Amino acid sequence: MLADLNAEGIGAGVHYPVPVHRTPAFATQSAEEGCFPHAERIAQNLLSLPLHPHLTRDQQNVVVAALTRALA
């Protein structure tokens, strides 16, 4: 899906591929995989879409249309 969006010029990405408890900042907390299953599942499925205050309605519609096609 990400490749489809990027191919259409939509600047989508994965900005948080690792849940917070698995980052180096929390390495000393010994949070084993599976301790926070919801956060781990979300990190595996997270997609960042264009979002900024100057995104016009037409640009929003382009993003929605491309996302709809990518999900089909």
CB 16 within 8 A of CB 61: no
Which helix (H) or strand (E) is 3 found in, with range? helix 2-7
Q: What is the pLDDT along the chain (72 residues), one digit of tens a residue?
A: 899 999 999 999 998 899 988 889 888 887 788 889 999 999 998 999 999 999 999 999 999 999 999 999
What structural domains and CATH numbers belong to the chain?
2-71 (3.90.1150.10)
Name residues whose C-beta falls within 8 Å of residue 72's C-beta, 6 or more positions apart in sequence. none
Three-class secondary structure of residue 13 per DSSP:
strand
Distance between alpha carbon 12 and the CA centroid of its chain, in Å? Answer: 8
**Token reading at 15:** 């900005």
